[in-house]
Amino acid sequence: MSTSLENATATSSVSLNTTVHESTDFEWFWYVEIVYLAMTFIFGTTGNAVVIMVELTNKTKYSTDYLIISLTLFEMLCSTLGAFMNFVNDIPAVLSILGSTASCQLFWFVIYTSGITSTPLLSAIAVDRYIHTCKPFAKWYSIQIGKRLAIGISAAGIVVCFPCIFGVYADDDLNCVPTDTRIDLVLYDNFLNAMTVVPFFVIVVSYILVGRGLRQRNLQSQAQSSQVCSSDQVYTRGKSYSRWTAVYFRIMFRIPN
């Protein structure tokens, strides 16, 4: 069965967990994975939560702030629920309690939504940075537009990724297994992968334009600084020449001070 990256990861994780539990040769890898998931859960959740708290406490919010809040919410959802569900799958005692088709569907929905929505949000942030850097006086782009853009991308990502819950079920061992019985996963995954191509190019082009704009601004600033320095030098030299000329005439013609 041909599946997406997420499906392949889930399937390989099931096979790897079975191998780990059946053989003690890979027991060290199991402990490493548990530590990694714990660190992802702790630092991912707390770090993203701090970012959200800081953004929400800011009285003045700009368009970038709303985009960052939306992106951070999805990242926290992935690091919290995603790491927790992987943790459940790695511990048979916990899996026997929490494992079910509903939990597999929730896990897939979180992974799909956070993965698919992050790229458009990053591209929106890149365009936002381009506008504020290269087109700071653009009247058509405002804080309200940035806020609506963040909400729109988040809602669209949730709607587009919702069908993924029909592509997974829990087998007799409570492992998450992909299925094509209710949805064509190959077509669906290709559609989602195509959605990430355009935002990727938008990110690249936007930051190239931002870099070029900053370089041009830096060159203009250096040119203006050089002109100011040249004017100051001419003024200083002229002032010194006038002072020595006045001293010369006072000496030659005995002009009192």
Which pLDDT tens digit goes with each residue over 25-66?
Answer: 667 777 888 888 888 888 888 998 999 999 888 888 888 899
Domain ranges within the chain, ordered by starting residue = 5-220
What does pLDDT average to over the chain?
78
CB of 192 within 8 A of CB of 159? Answer: no
The predicted structure's pLDDT at residue 22: 46
For residue 250, CA distances in Å to 52, 128, 238 come to: 74, 66, 18
- Selected from 1.20.1070.10, 1.10.10.10, 3.40.50.980, 1.10.599.10, the CATH number assigned to the domain covering 5-220 reads 1.20.1070.10
Section 118-138 average pLDDT: 88
Question: For the ranges 6-20, 76-90, 124-138, 149-163, which has the lowest average pLDDT?
Answer: 6-20
Work out the percent of the chain whose per-residue pLDDT is above 90.
21
- Helix, strand, coil percentages in the chain from 3-state DSSP, rounded to 5: 85, 0, 15
Between CA 81 and CA 111 the distance in angstroms is 9
Q: Is the pLDDT of residue 12 over 50?
A: no
Name which residue leads in pLDDT, 3 or 37: 37
Confidence of residue 79 (pLDDT cuts 50, 70, 90): confident
Confidence of residue 150 (pLDDT cuts 50, 70, 90): very high
Q: Which helix (H) or strand (E) holds 168?
A: strand 168-170
Instruction: Identify the burial level of 149 via C-beta atoms within 10 angstroms of its C-beta, where 0-12 means exposed, 13-18 middle and 19 or more buried.
Output: buried
> For 197-239, what is each residue's pLDDT tens digit?
889 999 999 999 988 888 887 887 777 766 655 555 555 555 5
